[in-house]
Each structure stands twice: as C-alpha cells, then as structure tokens.
Amino acid sequence: MNSIASIALSGLQGAQWRVASAGHNIANALTPGFRRQVGAQQAVEGGGVATTIERAPVVGDALADDLVALKVGATLYKANLQVLRAHDRMLGTLLDVTA
C-alpha cells in the first residue's frame, strides 16, 4: 500500500493533467481540424490514480465538457491538497508526541 502522501500526490498530478488538457482544448477550440485531448483516470492497485491523455477520435470541440473538466480538476486538486495538509498536521502532531 502506498503512503497517504504519495496517493494524494498522484491525485494532484491527475487533477493538474485534467486542468491542463481542458485548458488546451478551450484555447484551441477554433483551430481548424483540432481534435480534443481526452483524459482518463484509473485507480492504481495499492492506492492513487494513473492519468492518461489521448486525442479524441473525431474533430470538434466540446466546450461545455471542457469547462466542467476545469471545475472538476480544480475541485480534485483542492481535495488532494487538503489530504496532504491533514497528513502534514498529523505527522507533525505524532512527532511532537514522540519527541
């Protein structure tokens, strides 16, 4: 099993990829022949996530989907950051108790 910190860090990285991909799609929505980037996250055995980014099979935009992806990515980032902060506080408390 992975540590809490490494699980949260993989979540942060996945959220970062999601936001970057959505931003890329929005910035290039009006580019002729543009195929969107589509991201997928899968749970990793032992904890955490793995993120993959692929090109959409068809040309076109989906601005509503990309705006939702931005919001979801930001929320996931904040949630994983809170896990890291809680882990840091807990570790600090444990070190204070044992020191």
Give the predicted TM-score (pTM) of the model.
0.81
**DSSP codes, 43-96:** EPTTS-EEEEEEE-SS-B--HHHHHHHHHHHHHHHHHHHHHHHHHHHHHHHHHH
Q: What phi, psi does 39 have (nearest 5°)? A: -105, 150
Rounded to the nearest 10 degrees, the angle between the axes of helix 63-98 and helix 4-27 is 160
Give the whole-angstrom CA distance, residue 41 versus residue 57.
Answer: 18
pLDDT in tens, the chain (99 residues): 468 889 999 999 999 999 999 999 999 999 999 999 998 899 999 889 999 999 999 998 899 999 999 999 999 999 999 999 999 888 877 666 665
